[in-house]
């Protein structure tokens, strides 16, 4: 297919474009943007933690660093290795370009797995010549969307660790789609360690390992292609325990004499759950908790976090036959409701959305969503500038863009789920003909 032959030149052009922006950055100053770098992912905060660690102090001694101690020996030397005339995070940007490319390749490979699964399902469905269940180049399209998405590029150059977080989430999905339990377990443990919220991906991962990649509901088949298997799930649980022990052991060694695991949990997971930093971001929680009375703060913390958990089971029951799409929905919900969101979270689920381009071809409000994302992306820095630097606006200006951003994500989730279920109902009608 000609689309497949053009993939590598377009992907290479995306990498070259990133390298050009790294080598000739200008005065972008993306690391200070609240839409890009969060208190959990900022390299400026990581540099503070690395300096404290080098001074034989706990990296969590100050109020700056709230990330994993495992990132300090990896990214810390790159930050400290400063070259005259180069930005502070010059070498980290090169690393993130590589990370983005690996993520795109894994998305492409995941698309191939989904395509093979759909081809097998097509043979079991009596739909020859009636409908094309999936396109072979959906993985290529999704990969290129991820590489060329401006949000992904800004995140790559934005002096934040979000590209690494996204890589681990994508690695989890790819390992589960491939049926490789150790790989899926490694990605899941690391993703959960770096950012607490990917823990909810346990449901689609179990469904992927037990049932295989996405397929129409089993009632559309004359017989089940693949019964649920517990063997890979048991392997996944065992490997998850092994990788978790390794991660905690490495963290304990890294923090030996300068703190411990208890402090790490309190400064990372506790910091995330308690929403201690109320600096502005693209989400809505910072504004709400800045306004709410302290007496009700714990109550609303529980409400906001449990709100994510309330959605898991109903979506899993309705979309259990499409676990990879279920993972996309979970990631989009987390990006909307997490404590410290960034545009990098949107870059991840928008890239995964391309995997289902065929099934969601008839999704409504696509035009509205496309230009809505563009409008919010452009308005957010403008409103922030009016509020913080020019003094001609106030916090409501900036919060309005965050509220619009949350509404757009809500519409995207609702319409994508509705379109996928509509696609399955159409298959059912065609099977019954």
> Within the chain, what is the greatest distance between any pair of CA atoms?
73
Q: Which residue has the tokens 């590209």?
A: 163
Reported as a single tens digit per residue, the pLDDT across 114-148 is 888 877 776 666 555 445 555 668 889 999 999 99
pTM value is 0.94
Q: Which residue has the tokens 């396109």?
A: 135
Reported as a single tens digit per residue, the pLDDT across 322-380 is 999 999 999 999 999 999 999 999 999 999 999 998 888 888 889 999 999 999 999 99
Q: What is the CA radius of gyration of the chain?
A: 22
Rounded-to-integer distance, Cα 330 and Cα 194, Å: 17
Question: Which DSSP state fits 198?
Answer: G
Helix, strand or coil, per DSSP, at residue 42: strand
Rounded-to-integer distance, Cα 213 and Cα 206, Å: 11
Question: What is the dihedral sign for C-alpha 316, 319, 321, 322?
Answer: negative
Rounded-to-integer distance, Cα 144 and Cα 31, Å: 25
In what helix (H) or strand (E) does residue 93 lie, and over which residues does it extend? helix 90-124
> For residue 258, what pLDDT is reported?
80
Which residues lie across from 42 on neighbouring strands? 160
Torsion of CA 255, 257, 263, 268, to 10 degrees: -20
Copy the structure tokens of residue 186: 């490694």
Cβ atoms of 194 and 46 within 8 Å: the answer is no
In three state form, how does the secondary structure of 175-195 look? HHHHCCHHHHHHHHHHHHHHC
Q: How many other CB atoms sit within 10 Å of the CB of residue 11?
A: 19
Rounded-to-integer distance, Cα 132 and Cα 130, Å: 7
Rounded-to-integer distance, Cα 39 and Cα 259, Å: 20
Rounded-to-integer distance, Cα 73 and Cα 157, Å: 20
Rounded-to-integer distance, Cα 160 and Cα 41, Å: 5
In what helix (H) or strand (E) does residue 156 lie, and over which residues does it extend? helix 150-156
Q: Spell out, as residue ranges, where the chain has pLDDT lower than 50.
A: 1-2, 129-130, 224
Which residues lie across from 367 on neighbouring strands? none
């Amino acid at each position: 297919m000609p689309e497949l032959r053009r993939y590598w030149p377009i992907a290479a052009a995306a990498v070259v474009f990133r390298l050009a922006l790294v080598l000739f950055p200008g005065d972008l100053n993306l690391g200070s943007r609240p839409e890009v770098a969060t208190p959990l992912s900022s390299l400026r905060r990581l540099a503070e933690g690395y300096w404290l660690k080098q001074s034989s102090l706990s990296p969590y001694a100050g109020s700056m660093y709230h990330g994993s101690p495992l990132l300090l020996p990896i990214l810390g030397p790159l930050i400290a290795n400063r070259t005259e005339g180069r930005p502070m995070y010059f070498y980290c940007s090169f690393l993130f370009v590589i990370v983005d490319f690996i993520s795109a390749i894994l998305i492409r490979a995941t698309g191939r797995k989904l395509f093979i699964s759909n081809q097998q399902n097509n043979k079991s469905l009596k739909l020859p010549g009636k409908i094309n269940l999936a396109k072979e180049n959906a993985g290529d399209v999704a990969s290129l969307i991820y590489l060329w998405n401006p949000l992904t590029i800004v995140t790559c150059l934005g002096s934040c660790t979000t590209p690494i977080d996204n890589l681990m989430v994508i690695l989890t999905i790819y390992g589960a789609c491939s049926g490789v339990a150790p790989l899926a377990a490694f990605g899941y443990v690391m993703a959960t360690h770096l950012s607490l919220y990917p823990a909810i991906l346990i449901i689609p991962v179990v469904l992927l390992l037990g049932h295989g990649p996405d397929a129409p509901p089993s009632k559309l088949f004359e017989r089940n292609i693949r019964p649920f298997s517990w063997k890979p799930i048991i392997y996944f649980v065992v490997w998850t325990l092994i990788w978790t022990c390794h991660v905690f052991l490495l963290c304990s060694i890294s923090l030996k004499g300068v703190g411990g695991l208890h402090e790490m949990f309190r400064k990372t997971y506790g910091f995330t759950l308690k929403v201690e930093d109320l600096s502005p971001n693209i989400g809505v929680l910072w504004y709400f908790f800045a306004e709410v009375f302290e007496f009700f703060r714990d109550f609303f913390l529980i409400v906001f976090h449990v709100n994510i958990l309330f959605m898991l089971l109903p979506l899993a029951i309705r979309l259990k036959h499409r676990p990879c799409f279920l993972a996309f929905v979970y990631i989009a919900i987390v990006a909307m409701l997490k404590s410290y969101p960034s545009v990098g979270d949107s870059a991840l689920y928008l890239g995964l959305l391309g995997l289902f381009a065929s099934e969601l071809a008839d999704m409504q409000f696509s035009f509205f969503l496309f230009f809505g994302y563009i409008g919010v992306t452009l308005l957010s820095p403008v409103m922030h500038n009016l509020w913080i630097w020019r003094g001609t606006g106030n916090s409501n200006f900036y919060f309005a863009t965050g509220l619009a951003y949350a509404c757009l994500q809500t519409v995207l989730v609702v319409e994508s789920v509705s379109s996928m279920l509509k696609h399955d109902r159409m298959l059912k009608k065609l099977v019954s003909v």
